[in-house]
Amino acid sequence: MKTRTLGADLTVSAVGLGCMGFSHAYGAPTERSEAVRAIRAALDLGYTLFDTAETYGTAADPHENEKLVGEALREVRGAVQIATKFGIRFDETGAAVNKPLVPDSRPETIRASVEGSLRRLGTDHIDLYFQHRMDPKVAPATVAQVMADLIREGKITHWGISEATGDYLRRAHAVCPVTAVQNRYSMMARWHEALFPVLEELHVGFVAFSPMANGLLTGAYGAASQFDPRLDYRSAMPQFGPEAAEQNRALLTLLRELAAEKHATPAQISLAWMMCKKPWIVPIPGSRRPERMQENAGAAEICLTPADVQALDRALEALPMSAVFGGSAVTGGK
């Protein structure tokens, strides 16, 4: 697979693998040995960037996903880049499937988190360590100074911020250069495009999570699709609601037509659209099946011209579409 560079010098596969769904938020977890085989299949397909977090787990094991990624990649550690995250826990008091997030980026919490992640991943360093959400009670300079210390100690080599704003990014970057932000981004969720000029100015990369609107843009789901309300966040996402299929019909038709023109699939077009916008955008779709991973990897070979991208942007701005999931609620307390 082709590669891209995030920040100053972190070279990764043009498409990365979001590993969360193997353990968390997308229905029943994948059986461990099957998940290990799937992650190794991704490596064989050219993926080198694997994204996880300390909170991607199950009720039985809240840290399951890091352990899984560590097991799958231990024998090839030098050939891959592992991204993981610190700085949140779930508010377990509510009944919602997508429980609110409680931010905590106090230095002592970060220190405990990095040691836990290193142990679970079975590695001596983390390639890209993301602050999972901004913590309003901790200044960005404070977080960045801890990152600078961890880089100096060799425990991480690069760091980033998930769901970053421009002001927060600037203040953190001034203390310790940020390699990437990881924000939600898809044809249905474009609000972070306002951040692009700041990223270009600071030479910060963009890792796009949920790049296919949680799977909707693959065209594989319709009005009859069902999701487990106990385990699957999609059961509460508006783009999968009872009226959304009709609201999104024109969008999915556009994708299918362009896919046919480019000898591609709707999923590939939705990824190629963002990769052809900027050379520093790396999507991390969360497929669990090797055949879908192969399909997504193929998006890196699709060339959409600037005119193609501009025409798509104009169409997206004019098309009706449903609301789209914008993220779990963030609460204040520690």
- Judge residue 314's burial from the number of C-beta atoms within 10 Å of its C-beta, 0-12 exposed, 13-18 middle, 19 or more buried: exposed
Tokens representing residue 146 in the block: 């801890």
Q: Return the closest-CA partner of residue 199 out of 126, 300, 131, 279.
A: 279
For residue 159, the SS3 value is strand
Q: Return the closest-CA partner of residue 21 out of 242, 210, 218.
A: 210
43 vs 51: CA distance, rounded Å:
13
Number of neighbours of residue 174 by Cβ within 10 angstroms: 13
288 vs 258: CA distance, rounded Å:
25
Catalytic residue among 56, 185, 221, 233: 56
- The answer to whether the Cα torsion of 120, 124, 128, 130 is positive or negative is positive
* 26 belongs to the catalytic site: no
The residue with tokens 């940020």 is 178
CB 45 within 8 A of CB 297: yes
Q: What is the DSSP string of 221-260?
A: --TT----TTTBGGGG-GGGSTTHHHHTHHHHHHHHHHHH
Provide the annotated active-site residues.
56
